[in-house]
Amino acid sequence: MRHLVNFGLLFCFLTLAVTGVMEFALPFSIVTARVHIVFGLATLVLGAWLALFQHDLKGLLAYPPQLQTAIHDLIARTGDL
């Protein structure tokens, strides 16, 4: 399931990039704008899915304990930044 979500995000980002360039370079088209909006919403949904249901994402956002200790020691030696 995770690979499916990642490939979906890749497809959404590519579609957003192409439609964004099209909206910038070509005259306005409501169809292009709608495609851009729909894939933007799909990106938000897939991103929320990853944030809520993939528990290993929390590990990517948190500092490892060794880094936390190193940061704490650095601040203690230099004083408040």
- Cα Rg of the chain, angstroms: 20
pLDDT (tens digit per residue) in 47-75: 888 777 765 555 555 656 666 677 777 77
Average pLDDT for the chain: 81
- Reported as a pLDDT band with limits 50, 70 and 90, residue 35 is very high
Q: What letter does residue 61 receive in the DSSP assignment?
A: H
**Percentage of the chain modeled with pLDDT above 70:** 75
